[in-house]
Chain A
Amino acid sequence: MIFMFQSLAAMEKYSMNKSRVARYARLAAPLWAAAVLCGAQTSNASAEDVIRFGAPLPITGPLAPEAIKQQQGYDLWAEEANKAGGISVGGKKYKVEIVYADYQSNTPRAVQATEQMISQDNVNFMFGAFGSGAAKAASTVSEKYKVPTLAATASSVQVYDQGYKYLFGTFTPNDTLTTPLTQIIKAKVPEVKKVAILARNDLFPLAIAQEMEKSAKANGFDLVYFEKYAIGTLDHSATLSQIKSLAPQWIFVTGYINDLLLIRKQMVDQEMKAPIVTMIAGPAYQEFIESGGKTAENITSASWWHPAERYEGKDIFGSTENFVKLFKAKYKSEPDYGQASAALCGALFQMAIEKAGSLDRDKVRDELAKLDVVTFFGPVRFGANGQINSLDPPVFQIQGAKPVVLFPEAIKQGDLKVGVN
């Protein structure tokens, strides 16, 4: 609505002040020409020894917190790569430059931004837009121009089943998050039978909830409630009262951090208790634990990566420990899966380019498809559709204000605790 008013106002003003517009245009023309000349000069100078990576991100708007995370990951990688002299291509070192564009949490603009980066900003390679929805939409453009694209935060299979050759993603399919969790709970807490699912009506949160529905049914749970809530819902009290009246033993909620903080607060307000409460995707973030305080205790969740993992990798970061150390030194906070996945995408590009020994997009694409390597993020190998298929995403629980890994066995830090009050 606001934008409608805005454009109306602009139109009104435009028609009133046509002559003024013309005057501005006359004034602006030489400035514009100068800017273009300067731009052309710098891009000529830098095209020789710089590799440009395009990163369209929702830097403003409701998804801004997520964009900041991805940006931190890319920046950390670029800094590390440049500290080491850059990416070596056939014996010559190239500096890394990341070109950001803000698509204002608006998916159509993500598509435009991708088009602009490839056709006007002359980027060599692309990072995908945030989340499954925007990454899928923007991938049509990078596929058209045959630009290898690494999507750091797209997990839904629908992104990868388009038969695209140039799109790769570092998140495993959604069911890899829900299945291990369901099996752990079935084995450890057999008295849990009734499950209630509440999902944010949005591509990824809803897809996760649907996977949960499938895996709950497959494992013999009794699904007593499955509803969606609208994006931007301010109050969940009526919904939660209804769930409470059904007395489920396992409450499974999906959404982003603001939704989950609000729902958790309202659950406490309504004195809702359950043996198991799972929330995806907020609890992986440090802000959730800090903001949730005591109410975050014993909440289970799953994510694609966890700082407690211990992989010895062949990428620029070397090991999970080293990555965490570098991240903490730069940003004074613990990294989560979003930041790690973004940094991983940079590191993977670096490996593929160095192996290809060329900036040729097709050669780099082939090297990405062939990758079979252990990184700080875990083993990386892409399936035929471009989505990673080599990872076991960790299941974890907030215990003593810290996320404790319950699965996979190799990095397990503790056992499941029952009871969320």
Chain B
Amino acid sequence: MLIKIVWKNIWAKKLNSFLCILLMMFGISIISLLINIGNQMQDKFSKNISGIDMVVGAKGSPLQLILSGVYQIDAPTGNIPMSELQSLQTNPLVKQVLPLSMGDNYQGFRIVGTTYPYLKHFEADYAVGVVFKNNMEVVLGATVARKLNLKLNESFASSHGFEKEGEAHGDKKYKVVGILKSNNSVIDNLILCDLKSIWEIHEHEEEHANETPEKHTEHANEATEEDFDITCALVKFRSPMGLMTIPRLINQNTKMQAALPAIEINRLFELMGIGIDAFKALALAIMLISGISVFVTLYNALKERKYEMALMLSMGGKRTKLFFILMFEGLFLSLSGYILGVLLSRIGLWIASRMLDQNFNFDLQQSMLQKEEIYLLIAALLVGIFAAVIPSLGIYRINISKTLAND
């Protein structure tokens, strides 16, 4: 009966209740969506960054270098000669250098030339097949294999650039020798091959195209690795000493630039953080308005229902019981707003995931209730309680005989 009274009272004020729930729903869903996207981005970004202390590449924007080199989402800054890495590789402070060479794609997925340690760095595990051993052999990331429906031993021709519509390298075909298990890192979205495969393709390319004479001569005398260009290299240091000295050395003494992922990503998050904070403030304001709307609804209800309340009191209703009837009304509104809000945020997440996936090959997982969302639940309930408590306390001030006597 108590539930029935609460429900009937809410139903009797459909529009008011709807407004309260709607406001709460939007507030909650915006915050929850931001929390989810923020958490997953941070998770993905920091997972891919782990272990990489420095990225070297052509001069340009350091953030761009990090985004293109580590996350494979921006265009590369340019090329650097492999020979420049030599001194780095022999430096005692450097633990490992992972060279990367990009510039081609297949159906929008980047083909990255690298060496075996790059796969090992991301702890790549094979679903089927083995690592590339010969030229023109590739290993597919899990997402690539799933989306393009490529199987072992199938072959494909790459195209130039990072857009699907790039000019095709028709004469040389890649062969799939391995497919990786998904591990939620950047390699899920990559097609990996040996550095030499990339060089081989572009060498032919240049011969055919017969570009500028100088460039041609540069590649004219075949052979040693040092003559080739790569896009960038990921560097791990043996000790923090490396971090202190090497980036400066590179930036001052070579044509390359060194960028530190930790710093650049912090900068990126700081930039995004302003936007996210603004959204959060907006969402909190919406929640607060919802609280006020619950308050006004209940407050007016109490005024209108003063007679009802006095009547129920005269019929043996206890003030505590009536107090809880009003409290439950407030709580029901904020709680259902919360539940709908979380549901809406999941739908939003799904839509955002579809959009990001189409444009950036970056997808978001549908997640369970995040820790922050539990706090959000508590916040929503507090809003409900605070909005309901003042009108509800009015129950204790009702003078039955006076109210009903209609003085």
The judgment on whether A and B are partners is no
A interface residue numbers (CB < 8 A to B): none
B interface residue numbers (CB < 8 A to A): none
